[in-house]
Amino acid sequence: MAKEKAISSGGSVEFFESLLKTDIYKRSQGRITRQVTCIVIWVVFALGAWRLYSIMPAAQPVVKYAIPAVLLVGGLWLGYRVVNQPTFADFLIAVEAEMNKVSWPSQAELIRASIVVIVLILVLVALISVYDLLLVAIGRVLGISAL
């Protein structure tokens, strides 16, 4: 009961305090996944700032540059901090650990499987086209207008 009360009362305060920290949580674990996630977050914020800059009216250049710049800097910092939040970082570490367990196909297996999928799709397209032509012909014979 006391633990639940402590979590509910200080959870948001601890979250905002952790956003101001500069340390890296479990520095050597899940590096690739965390770096890629951070870069994706940065790209999203950079594209958002660029889009905001491009649609803002050109009335005051200070505002036109300042608001997207603040958004970009805030997004860069948020991306860095989010991937170092203990719960999210542990999730990304677990994701990388699971991805390392996957047995990836060889290039030859990948090519064979891709060929099977492409051929199957072409066969299904041909089959559906034949069914379509057959149903249109039956509709014409019965006097039903197709379109």
Domain boundaries, the chain: 2-102, 105-147
Query: What pLDDT score was predicted for residue 1?
Result: 44
From CA 121, how far away is CA 104, in angstroms rounded? 23
Q: What angle do CA 123, 124, 130 make, to 5 degrees?
A: 90
pLDDT category at 117 given cuts 50, 70, 90 is: very high
Pick from 43, 33, 49, 46: which is nearest to 84 by CA?
A: 33
Residue with token string 């590096």: 31
Distance CA 106, CA 146 (A): 48
Angle separating helix axes 31-55 and 61-82, nearest 10 degrees: 160
**In the prediction, which pLDDT does 61 show?**
75
Mean pLDDT of the chain: 83
Q: Does 111 score more than 50 pLDDT?
A: yes
Q: What is the pTM of this model?
A: 0.58
